[in-house]
Structure 1
Amino acid sequence: MTQPFKHKVTVIGGGTGIFPVTQALQRLSTDICSIIAVSDSGGSTGRIRDEFGFQPVGDLRQSLAALAEDEAHTWIRQLLLYRFNKGSGLKGHNLGNLILTALQDMTGSTSEALFQAQRIFRIDGTVIPATQQDVDLKIKYQDGTVVVGEDSLNEQSRPTKKIDRVSLVPNCRLSQPAKLAIQQAELIVIGPGDLYGSVLAALAPSGVRPAFKNSSAEVMYVVNLMTSAAQTHNMTAAQHLTEVEKAVGKRVDHVLINSARIPPKVIKLYQANQEFPVEDDLGNDQRAIRADVISQVVHQPSDQDNLKRSLLRHDSAKLEQVFAKLLKDTPV
């Protein structure tokens, strides 16, 4: 029996940001490969990483859960996302993180742990760490300050400090599976998500630029809905785009930006933290795709989760419509 044709799509970023992107593409029956940053050092992931010394699994687990989109995987998705709300040792931990950590311990490899998780849970799609090495995010600010650790970006003591660049320490290479996923894709979707902590962290390993150079894929960048006080204070859409293009070494083909009005009550919540809607200053740039892509559901943070999460997120159903048209127009 002939297998139905599937467009090969590679998604790059972190777990929470690209969750709705992955869900949207999964509904379109695409062949999805997610390349995920592995420099996370906060929350449940950070606690497990400190104790076991393995690569962080939080964003990898989020990406697996996003691939478990269909009704048959409902309980699997809920298990991967389940967070304990009591227990002196378990409170705040995510069950999916513990499962992946156990598989890392059993297999001795993050990549093998992911492969076995995908096989056990019968998940259609692939999740790949951006690098095989254990790394931390190094952040250099324009005033010369240097800090190490992705969790330092969550500190609200730097709302006006501008980031100059981020890198990974120690120096590392793009994993071979990630390299192939970039080179063999028809469409590459970058973001959304924390610009420096997730998106650029996933694009920081050496070898990323040559991989993009040797890829014929169309590249889309999904602009964040809101700025981040600790990372992108007052940065416009064009400034976000510039940072991404510097990382990949080429112009992207499409830039998706929200055109819908954000509810004033939501804006007010963000303004309390010096965060605002990302300004659309792309003007007549023909690459800009403007669409209503915001979710009407405002995320309610868990009391057991000590990390700051986005209240406003992209809507997977609305993203699905954008991707469907884009893939229809993509040459096979």
Structure 2
Amino acid sequence: MKSNGFKKSVVVMGGGTGIYPVVSALKNLPVKVTTIIAVSDSGGSTGRIRDEFGFPPVGDLRQSLAALADTKSQEWIQKLLLYRFEKGNGLSGHNLGNLILTALQDMTGSTTEALNIARNVFRISGSVIPVTESSVQLEIHYTDGSIAIGEHILDEQTENPKTIASVRLTPDCVLNPAAAKALVEADHIIIGPGDFYASLLAVLTASGLKDAFKKTKAEITYILNLMTRHTQTKDMSALDHIIKIEEAIGRKLSHVLQNSEPVTSAMLSQYAEQHEYVVVDDTKSDDKRIIKASLLEKRKIDQSEADAVHRSLLRHDGEKLLPVLEKLLDL
């Protein structure tokens, strides 16, 4: 039994939207939850604020705070952090939580300190850690030898996208010491789901990360994405995803959590319009690491007209993840 009644320490890695249902499920279990979040976002409200203030982007960090918020006794906190202005000169498209965190960054000069203050003010349990304290951009290397800078480029829709060979953070940066400590001390590490290159690989490329994974005794679970992303994972199978994650962390995964629930034909058609499809399952039937379960969110995901970033319509369901994670963590 960990301190404060927690049975285990769990670290979740990724971006804000993708891991939201995972964090929402875990906060209902007797575990200490720490999220390690990508800070290379350059689109939407986050990108606009980043351009003006020069601080590391806070959008995914804010999403993680909202996921950890106590919705039973303080539902307004989550709503406040997620509120997006849909009108107002200069305000339209901005997220209130992003503005609050940016103000705290400006006051303290530190993203980590800004997050700690926000946690205390909003009485949020769990920790949110930026993968690095540096202000970085995503550098995308394509198989044709070309290079692009900026995560927002992966949101730009194109008929024939280039194939990504790898991504890195620029300028070179080191893993946040708080993130390294959390990884080494964790009982279980969960990676994903989320945009494969823009969020997952972006959080797995900081210098020192492989060393932390080498030192930790934690079991490592990867939650496989539901659909491909045309500008990121076109034609990538389940095994392709798994192999690249293992290359990034420098070791084998303990478990891979995969959705087994069929996607409706209407939703498939909607995704096909964007050249995006269900991730092909080419995992081996005798691979005991693969855990298949019904994980689809049934609720229709609505996107604010003021939100400039392309969001996934299909999500993992936090309520369905809850019993699966409880069993996986052996609680």
TM over 0.5: yes
Q: Partner of 2:307 in structure 1?
A: 305
Q: Deviations over 1:90-145 (max 9, x none)?
A: 00000000000000011110000000000110100000000011000000010111
1:72 CA drift (Å): 1.5
Q: Partner of 1:46 in structure 2?
A: 47
Q: Partner of 2:191 in structure 1?
A: 190
Amino acid aligned to 1:99: I
Amino acid aligned to 1:268: S
1:280 CA drift (Å): 1.2
1:158 CA drift (Å): 6.1
Amino acid aligned to 1:124: S
Q: Partner of 2:317 in structure 1?
A: 315
1:119-198 map, 5 Å: 119-157=120-158, 159-198=160-199
Alpha-carbon distance in structure 2 between the residues aligned to 1:159 and 1:267: 20
Q: Partner of 2:94 in structure 1?
A: 93
Q: Name stretches of at least 5 consecutive residues in structure 1 with no aligned partner.
A: none
Q: Secondary structure at the match of 1:255?
A: strand
Q: Percent identity?
A: 52
Q: Partner of 1:296 in structure 2?
A: 298
Alpha-carbon distance in structure 2 between the residues aligned to 1:307 and 1:5: 36
Q: Deviations over 1:242-278 (max 9, x none)?
A: 1110110000000001001111111110000100001
Cα RMSD of the aligned pairs, angstroms, is 1.0
Amino acid aligned to 1:6: K
- Number of aligned pairs? 328
Alpha-carbon distance in structure 1 between the residues aligned to 2:4 and 2:151: 42
Q: Is the 8 A contact 2:6 2:32 kept in 1?
A: no
1:231 CA drift (Å): 0.2
Q: Is the 8 A contact 1:23 1:69 kept in 2?
A: no
Q: Is the 8 A contact 2:222 2:255 kept in 1?
A: yes
1:1-332 map, 5 Å: 3-157=4-158, 159-284=160-285, 285-328=287-330
Alpha-carbon distance in structure 1 between the residues aligned to 2:226 and 2:325: 18
Q: Name stretches of at least 5 consecutive residues in structure 2 with no aligned partner.
A: none
Normalised by the length of structure 1, the TM-score is 0.97
Amino acid aligned to 1:203: L
Normalised by the length of structure 2, the TM-score is 0.97
Q: Secondary structure at the match of 1:196?
A: helix
Amino acid aligned to 2:175: L
Amino acid aligned to 1:49: R
1:29 CA drift (Å): 2.9
Alpha-carbon distance in structure 2 between the residues aligned to 1:231 and 1:289: 24
1:159 CA drift (Å): 4.2
Alpha-carbon distance in structure 2 between the residues aligned to 1:5 and 1:53: 37
Q: Secondary structure at the match of 2:73?
A: helix
Amino acid aligned to 2:289: R
Q: Secondary structure at the match of 1:300?
A: coil
Amino acid aligned to 2:129: I
Consecutive aligned runs of 4 or more in structure 1 exceeding 6 Å deviation: none
Alpha-carbon distance in structure 1 between the residues aligned to 2:262 and 2:64: 28
1:157 CA drift (Å): 2.0
1:161 CA drift (Å): 1.8
Q: Secondary structure at the match of 2:233?
A: coil
Alpha-carbon distance in structure 2 between the residues aligned to 1:73 and 1:32: 19
